[in-house]
Amino acid sequence: MNDTAMIKALALRKTFETPHGEVEVLKGIDMEVRSGERLGIVGASGSGKTTLMHLLGGLDRPTEGTVTFDGENIFSLENGLLDRFRNSSIGFVFQFHQLLPEFSALENVMLPGMIARRPSRETQQDARALLEEVGLSHRLNHKPGALSGGEQQRVAIARALSLQPRVLLADEPTGNLDSKTSSDILALLNRLHEEKGLTMVIVTHSGELASAMDRVVHMVDGCLS
């Protein structure tokens, strides 16, 4: 980890329209993510953690404010360029895996490369190597329904790393797992961080996961404390 800020959020606000009026979810967030660090974002349900992660990764746009990546405002990119940036620079891991049920583990990990139109043979080789790296070389052809929750999360992590992103954004990566499997996923994330120098932003309720981070920020009612 170094002191260079890779990601900066400035005055981030996000409101949503509801039948009962506007709801302000983020209320002016200022934060930095340093290159190579593991940052934990901790807070109660509804505090705005997931919304913040979506904005940091360019999955959603803020009502106000900016997110810069290496000094460039990602929301100044036109939609196609923003999609390309997100696909090449950021890997996402979600609480509920979001694997395609009709695809095998191998096909799910290949998917980002296929979308990026990488050569099929190279994409398959890389996907096999990643699944071996996360301990699933024996489950390549199994569909998500035939995998345990921990195995599905390992597939999701391999998929997130398939295009060699610089940043991994993970939303409750151990949220639906038992304590043993959660510890295994934490060990895997730590090993990948050490070996690949990944910058990680982890949204979590888990005290064990948060305590393993280099730095932790707390969210309360749409604000950082």
* 3-class DSSP state of 133: helix
Q: What is the pLDDT of residue 74?
A: 93
Q: What is the pLDDT of residue 2?
A: 63
Of the chain, the end-to-end C-alpha distance in Å amounts to 23
CA of 187: how far to CAs of 152, 172, 193, 210, in Å? Answer: 16, 15, 10, 13
Residue 12: pLDDT band (50, 70, 90) is very high
Q: What is the pLDDT of residue 24?
A: 93
Residue 76: pLDDT band (50, 70, 90) is very high
> 33 and 39 in contact (C-beta within 8 Å)?
yes
Residue type, 183: S
Q: What is the pLDDT of residue 105?
A: 96
d(CA 224, CA 189): 24
Q: Is residue 175's pLDDT more than 80?
A: no
How much is the average pLDDT of 33-38? 93
Beta-strand pair 215-220/38-43:
parallel
Q: What is the pLDDT of residue 194?
A: 87
> 109 and 159 in contact (C-beta within 8 Å)?
yes
Strand partners of residue 93: 170
**Average pLDDT value over all residues in the chain:** 90
Closest CA to 159 of 212, 215, 115: 115
Residue showing tokens 């980890």: 1
CA angle, residues 140, 181, 206, in degrees to nearest 5: 130
